[in-house]
Amino acid sequence: MSDVVIVGAGLIGLTAAWRTAQAGATVTLLDADSERAASRVAAGMLAPISELNYGEAALFRLGTVASRGYPDFVAELMNISGIDVDYRQRGTVSVALDNDDHRALAEIFDYAALQGAKVHKLRGRDCRRHEPGLSPKVRGGWLVETDHQVDPRRLLRSLEVAAQRAGVRRRTASAARLHSRHHRVTGIETESGDLLNTDAVVIAAGCWSTRIEGVPPSARPPVRPIKGQLLRLRAPTDFPMLNHTVRGLVHGVPVYLVPRSDGELVLGATSEEQGFDRRITLEAIYSLVRDARLLFPGVTELELVEISAGLRPGSPDNAPIVGERGPRGLWWATGHYRNGALLAPATGAAIARMLRGGTTPDEFAAFSPDRFSAAAETLGV
């Protein structure tokens, strides 16, 4: 018997497992294939300001709280695991290639400023002062000093060590069926038929979160896969590498470049509604390289190390789904879409607190799974 079974060993599931075990619970973490987690593909941008969209004020507030808590989270984690997660606080330069891109970004940054974000407007030559490798064609941009980055793969390794040290038991198995009686969770059954008895299950399985049987349809959160393809590149030691994360808008299409301390540069990413399809397409790679080169011409000199595709868990409002819904003891921590690395520490801590009977942290109040129930009931699902 475990106090809690957490399904999904990506950044969200691992952080929730670690925090819950730290709080004294016995925790089992269940995942058959953590290699497919969106976290393994993610670039690791911690960017509540430069990834903001209209109508996302509550998400912006959550992202800001999460971003402020990151230094302490990383320090604690690295102290326990001894693994450097390459947390870099050098800021993000968000740039526009043409006039239309500039107008579009200006509107978003005006909206961000209304939400209280601190950003610095840059002329084209200021952008190149911050990043000398940027093309002279870059029209202008914004410096966001508080948008940072982390290496999600290092973060995963670090969390695995910390979770293990806190006593989390790991099972390589796929969660197949939820068991409940009298509207209370009693356990979860694996694909091979083992039943794990527990009265609390947290589903943190990204876009696969809805695939577990035995969950009432009305409790299933509306998450869907949003495919992101990206490239991992490597710079020789004498290459004039970017200092900041560069996020750009190129003829209306976003592209980003995320440099790491070890010479890796992540170039991403597409955003595709293709269902559960993780195939790499030449069109995506061609477009990413073409657009990145318009901003940062030196990019094509780099070694191509890896091409990957991940499935982000998208939700109808691009925001996470965190809280209890369904039979008593069934918890959800999914729908983190583009913000899994940023929000994992906050979500993990919120889940651990709520499992202990604590209140929902204020910054998560807008992200309960119940917010979709009225729409779902109208649609009869």
DSSP strand E in 237-362: where?
245-250, 253-259, 264-268, 303-314, 321-324, 330-334
How far apart are alpha carbons 118 and 214 in whole angstroms? 46
Which amino acid, one-letter code, is at 326?
G
Report residue 230 CA to chain centroid gap.
15
Report which residue's Cβ sits closest to ligand GLY. 338
- C-beta of 221 vs 340, nearer to ligand GLY: 340
What six digits make up the tokens of 88? 């870099």
Q: What share of the chain is helix, strand, coil (3-state, %, to 5)?
A: 40, 25, 35
- From residue 61 to residue 100, the character string flagging contacts with ligand GLY as x (rule: CB under 6 A) and all else as - is ----------------------------------------
Tell me: does residue 231 bind ligand GLY (CB under 6 A): no
Contact letters for ligand GLY, residues 304-333 (x by CB under 6 A): --------x---------------------
Dihedral, 208, 334, 39, 300 alpha carbons, nearest 10: 90
Nearer to ligand GLY, 235 or 269 (CB): 269
d(C-alpha 244, C-alpha 196), whole Å? 46
Question: Identity (one letter) of the amino acid at 26?
Answer: T
Among 77, 246, 269, 333, binds ligand GLY (CB under 6 A): 269
Among residues 221, 228, 320, 329, the one that binds ligand GLY under rule CB under 6 A: 228
User: Can you tell me which of 14, 29, 45, 322 binds ligand GLY, judged by CB under 6 A?
Assistant: 45
In the complex, the smallest distance separating the C-beta of residue 373 from ligand GLY, rounded to whole angstroms, is: 27
> Is 268 an interacting residue with respect to ligand GLY (CB under 6 A)?
yes
Nearer to ligand GLY, 63 or 323 (CB): 63
What are the start-end ranges of the H helices in the chain? 11-22, 38-41, 57-81, 99-114, 124-130, 152-165, 282-295, 340-355, 373-379
Q: Which residue has the tokens 């190129």?
A: 250
Q: Choose, by CB under 6 A, the member of 338, 347, 350, 367 that binds ligand GLY.
A: 338
User: How many CB atoms sit inside 10 A of residue 374's CB?
Assistant: 9
Contact region for ligand GLY (CB under 6 A) — 43-51, 79-87, 130-138, 286-294? 43-51
Which residues within the stretch 343-362 sit at the binding site for ligand GLY (CB under 6 A)? none
Contact 231, 289 (CB under 8 A): yes
- Decide if residue 43 touches ligand GLY (CB under 6 A): yes
The residues binding ligand GLY (CB under 6 A) are 43, 45, 51, 228, 268-269, 312, 338
